Structure 1
Amino acid sequence: MLQELASHIDEQFSFLKDKGLLIAISGGVDSVVLTHLLHKLQFKISLAHCNFQLRGKESDLDEQFVQKLGDRLTIETFTTRFNTREYAVENKLSIQLAARELRYNWFDKLRKENAFDYILTAHHADDNLETFLINFTRGTGLEGLTGIPSINKNVVRPLLIFSREEIFSFATENNIEWQEDKSNAEKKYVRNKIRHDVIPVLKELNPSLLKSFNKTIDYLQQSQQIIDNKIKEISSKILLKEGDLLKINIEEMLKLTNPKAYLYQLLKPYGFREWDDVFDLIYAQSGRRILTKFYTLLKDRDFLLLLPTDEESLCKNEHFIIHKENKRITVPIELIFENVKKQTTISTNSIYVDSELLDYPLSLRRWISGDYFYPKGMQGRKKVSKYFKDEKISIVNKNKIWLLCSGKNEIIWIIGKRQDRRFLPTEKTTNLLKISI
């Protein structure tokens, strides 16, 4: 197994040589064998162990075992403890997902703080098959059937070519000690049920199951690559990126033979799951939205807009006061207030008002439903929402616009857009005020 791994690394992971590697080690046979193998192959390795405090004294014994292993092999070892149950409740996650999130966040933190190049995990061929079957039974797209990736950004899994049986045999033949996790035998977890009840039956039907499975995974990964290439090809026609905002052109999307399938491929990295609801958003009224933990998908006329959910905070009615003595403000935007003798330049970035008509303090705020103003150059008044619609200002952009108001919320200026005529200077104006962005 040692020589086979050395050859596998030469062929597939030659970039690991002379790099700083952090091994995620539980104390179980898989990660302990990976540690011994790479130590014998003289790679530059360190160990990282998470104590999730889920199994009482057993969890502590695992931690102690890893520390002793690191000392015996003279390998730098990091350990940490998590209150996993509390984290799961606070974040509304299952214990398994909470543990996964905690450990990978910590691994990445260690990698950055200690300049490790890669994080190595000891996933093997049986883990890959179990993951495939879990995804299959829950329902998934093609990507969910392509198995555990051998390389995922900074995470590398060099043992995927080996079976659990091969790893166990190497450990016993070389008198390698490890910690046995008794929870692996409990069938209350889906993975364990599949491991103990389903896979043995499949292996009985096909003794070469893992070999056949690896071929299937290879074919599925090639198919996924074809899809990925097609998505890149159409993205230039359908997608427009503006900073953190991603715009999906609905008209171009609907020209495709199966727009729902393409929409799935485009949006799956952002945590969306209810694909019927996502696709129905195409035909919904502007303003309708679907949220995930980190992203918002918003219908806005001819586009679906994808933006980080924290951008939704832009819609809050934040309120900032401006006193008469203020000649410049910098929060939330920078405005300059100048007393001038005459009007000079005219642009969307500045306005002139009769300061005697202003009721101080002024205020800066976001627009709210029901706001109206008296647009310069027009008769009568107009709702701000109607003005935004007529000007074809997107939902995202209108929620970034500030209103400068006088007294009891009388709009002076939709900043950068349109001035209110009620505060315009006249021939009788003696105190002319220029307000500039």
Structure 2
Amino acid sequence: MFQKFQKHINQKLPFLQESKLLITISGGLDSVVLTHVCHQLNLNFSLAHCNFHLRGIESDGDQDFVEQLAADLQVEVFIQHFDTNTFAETHKVSTQMAARELRYNWFQELSEQLQFDYILTAHHADDNLETFLINLTRGTGLDGLTGIPEVNENVVRPLLKFTREQIESFAKSNNLKWREDSSNASTKYLRNKLRHDVIPVLKEMNAELLQNFETTQNNLQDAKSIIEDAITSVQKKVVSVEGEIIKFNIKKLQKLSNTKAYLFELLKEFNFTAWNDVYNLLEAQSGKQVFSSTHRLLKDREYLLLTEVDSNVSSSAVETLFIEENTKKLKTDLGVLFFEEADAVFGKHTNVSFVDKDLLKFPLTVRKWEKGDYFYPLGMQGKKKLSKFFKDEKYSLIEKEKTFVLCSGEDVVWVINKRGDNRYKVTEKTKNILKITLQ
């Protein structure tokens, strides 16, 4: 196996030879073998071990084993302790999911802090088959059937092409010692049930199961590449970006051969789960929306608008801000407002407003626009409700949500970053000009 591993590194993963590596090690067979073969290749690596404190003295024994292995090989080792059960309860996830999130977050933190180029895990061919079957039984798309990637950003799985049988044979022929995790024998977990009860039967039926599975995965990867090319082509036609808003043209989406499938591919990276609701937005009234944990998809006339959900929106989004006469600047959700005296009106920019200061009643206020608000649009005759102004200007629902107004008493002096008010415009009679700039 060592010669095959060395050849695989040289041909497929040569970048590992000149990199600083962090090997994640449990003390089990797979991670011990990965550590030893990397050591035999003289790769530059350190070890990282998580003690999840889920198996009492057995967990502590794993830690002792890893520390001794690091000492024997004269490599650096990092140990992290986790209260896994408390984390699982707090975040309402399974113990397995909690352990996975905790360890990968820590591995990434170590990688960033100590400048490791890559994180190495010991996943192998049997793990890949198990993951495929788990996804298959739960229902999945093409991504779930293409299995575990050998390289995923800075995470590399050098053993992915090798079987558990090959790994164990290498360990025994080299008299390696490892730790057995007693929980791996329990079939209460789906992965273990597949490992112990299902896959052995499949291997009895076909001795070349893993080799054929690798061929299937390669075919699926090829199909995925073709689909990605098609999605890229469609994306250019139906998707546009305006600032922080991603817009999907509904009419163009509906002309596609399989709108639902394309919509899934275009939106799958944004963590949506209610796919029927997403699809139904195409025929919904404007204003209907669907949320994921990170994003919002909003129907607005001829478009679906995708925006990121801001979990840290400041309280100023709903509060009224006050501006005294001597105020020089004010921070708002739109940006910073600067107030200064000017000698004349110059330039035309939506982010700048010139007003007759003597007409203002201090303190001025900044707030979100409200239903019923009206103003006298600069350059137009008469007054207009803001709602009608937005409609005439074809502002999206998201643009409306982000609209603030600067007020003097009850009067709207400036629809910030959009239009000023005729009543407060600078004329020949104006003696004091106030320049207000949004940056």
TM-score > 0.5 by shorter chain: yes
Q: 1:32 to 1:250 in 2, by over 3 A?
A: same
Match in the other structure for 1:18 = 18
SS at match of 2:18: coil
Is 1:392 matched with 2:394?
Answer: yes
Q: 1:66 to 1:243 in 2, by over 3 A?
A: farther
The answer (yes or no) to whether the contact 2:331–2:337 under 8 Å persists in 1 is yes
How far apart, in 2, do the equivalents of 1:304 and 1:295 lie?
12
Q: Compute the displacement of 1:379 (Å).
A: 5.5
Deviation digits for residues 68-103 of structure 1 (CA, Å, limit 9, x no counterpart) = 111111011111112222222333322222222221
Match in the other structure for 1:50 = 50
Q: 1:41 to 1:359 in 2, by over 3 A?
A: same
Match in the other structure for 1:403 = 405
Q: 1:344 to 1:175 in 2, by over 3 A?
A: closer
How far apart, in 2, do the equivalents of 1:272 and 1:330 lie?
33
Match in the other structure for 1:32 = 32
Q: Compute the displacement of 1:151 (Å).
A: 0.9
* Paired AA for residue 80 in structure 1: Q
Deviation digits for residues 232-264 of structure 1 (CA, Å, limit 9, x no counterpart) = 222221222345432222222222111111111
Deviation digits for residues 200-236 of structure 1 (CA, Å, limit 9, x no counterpart) = 2212222221122111111111111111121122222
How far apart, in 2, do the equivalents of 1:401 and 1:180 lie?
61
Q: Compute the displacement of 1:193 (Å).
A: 1.4
The answer (yes or no) to whether the contact 1:317–1:368 under 8 Å persists in 2 is no
> Which is worse superposed, 186-195 or 233-242?
233-242
Match in the other structure for 2:66 = 66
Q: Compute the displacement of 1:394 (Å).
A: 2.2
The answer (yes or no) to whether the contact 2:272–2:293 under 8 Å persists in 1 is no
Over the aligned positions, Cα root-mean-square deviation in angstroms equals: 2.4
Q: Report % sequence identity.
A: 53
Match in the other structure for 1:236 = 236
How far apart, in 2, do the equivalents of 1:172 and 1:125 lie?
19
Match in the other structure for 1:3 = 3
Is 1:420 matched with 2:425?
Answer: no
Deviation digits for residues 133-188 of structure 1 (CA, Å, limit 9, x no counterpart) = 10001101111101111111111111112111221222222221111111111122
Normalised to the residue count of structure 1, the TM-score between the two structures is 0.92
How far apart, in 1, do the equivalents of 2:219 and 2:429 lie?
81
Q: Compute the displacement of 1:420 (Å).
A: 2.9
Match in the other structure for 2:302 = 302
Is 1:281 matched with 2:281?
Answer: yes
The answer (yes or no) to whether the contact 1:317–1:367 under 8 Å persists in 2 is no
How far apart, in 1, do the equivalents of 2:385 and 2:99 lie?
51
Q: 1:426 to 1:14 in 2, by over 3 A?
A: closer
SS at match of 2:160: coil
Q: Compute the displacement of 1:353 (Å).
A: 3.2
Match in the other structure for 2:365 = 363
The answer (yes or no) to whether the contact 2:129–2:210 under 8 Å persists in 1 is yes
SS at match of 1:21: strand
SS at match of 1:116: coil
Residues 15-164 of structure 1 correspond to what in structure 2 (within 5 A)?
Answer: 15-164=15-164
Q: 1:320 to 1:73 in 2, by over 3 A?
A: same
Deviation digits for residues 110-149 of structure 1 (CA, Å, limit 9, x no counterpart) = 1122221111111011101110010001101111101111
Normalised to the residue count of structure 2, the TM-score between the two structures is 0.92
The answer (yes or no) to whether the contact 1:22–1:46 under 8 Å persists in 2 is yes
Q: Compute the displacement of 1:305 (Å).
A: 2.1
How far apart, in 2, do the equivalents of 1:143 and 1:77 lie?
34
SS at match of 1:251: helix
Q: 1:161 to 1:342 in 2, by over 3 A?
A: closer
How far apart, in 2, do the equivalents of 1:187 and 1:389 lie?
61
Q: Compute the displacement of 1:364 (Å).
A: 1.7
- Unaligned 5+ runs, structure 2: none
Match in the other structure for 1:171 = 171
- Unaligned 5+ runs, structure 1: none
The answer (yes or no) to whether the contact 1:84–1:98 under 8 Å persists in 2 is yes
SS at match of 2:293: coil
